[in-house]
Amino acid sequence: MTDRDRRRSVLFHAAALVSGTVFGLGLAVSGMIYPEKVKAFLDVSRIGSGGWDPSLAFVMAAAVIVTMMAVRIGHRRRRPLAALSFSQPHTKRIEGQLAIGAALFGVGWGLSGLCPGPAVADLVFASPAIILFLVSMLLGVAVVHLWRRRVQRATAGIAQEVEP
């Protein structure tokens, strides 16, 4: 690894730390770490009664605008500032796994009022509900990982049987 690559690696980790800190502060300031506030936003049936909280829509809109500007600026560069190369999706197709994962994420977010970022931020409260959410989430990640490994092994076994 060259000195330039080492500097990029340090810059990459520093940028990740700053980004994570800003993200966490944004979650706290916007109230997204409070499941009740998230549920009040997601429950659109409260619109007629005045109980719906639209404030998180403004948080999301601001995040989308900032991200769009950052992507435009980033795409003007030949190389990233803090990484060895740009990281782009390998496919533009929406696959079944992505759709199922997004649906599960949405259902979980709607039921609990939590998603992974705010749940990690909420660890400071040491609430049993938060800990249960995170343990369940990690268990789900582990199950999917084991399932994918099993499918890969089975696929590799079938490919070996087919070869003459």
- Taken as a whole, the chain contains a residue count of 164
- Looking at the fold, whether 71 and 114 belong to one and the same domain comes out as no
- Looking at the fold, whether 10 and 64 belong to one and the same domain comes out as yes
**For the segment 47-75, what is each residue's pLDDT rounded down to a tens digit?**
888 888 888 888 889 989 998 998 888 88
Taking 50 as the pLDDT cut, the residues of the chain under it are none
Q: Domain total for the chain?
A: 2
Query: Which one of 40, 69, 88 terminates a domain?
Result: 88
- Looking at the fold, whether 154 and 102 belong to one and the same domain comes out as yes
119 Cβ neighbours under 8 A, 6+ residues apart: 130, 133, 134, 137
Owning domain of residue 144: 94-164
Ramachandran area for residue 52 (φ above 0: left; ψ -120 to 50: alpha; else beta): beta
What is the C-alpha separation between 144 and 155, in angstroms, rounded?
A: 16
pLDDT at 162: 57
- Looking at the fold, whether 109 and 73 belong to one and the same domain comes out as no
- Looking at the fold, whether 51 and 76 belong to one and the same domain comes out as yes
- Looking at the fold, whether 32 and 72 belong to one and the same domain comes out as yes
- Looking at the fold, whether 98 and 79 belong to one and the same domain comes out as no
pLDDT at 41: 86
Query: In 10 A of CB 40, how many CB atoms?
Result: 18
The answer to whether 52 and 43 have CB atoms below 8 angstroms apart is: yes
Query: Which one of 88, 122, 138 terminates a domain?
Result: 88
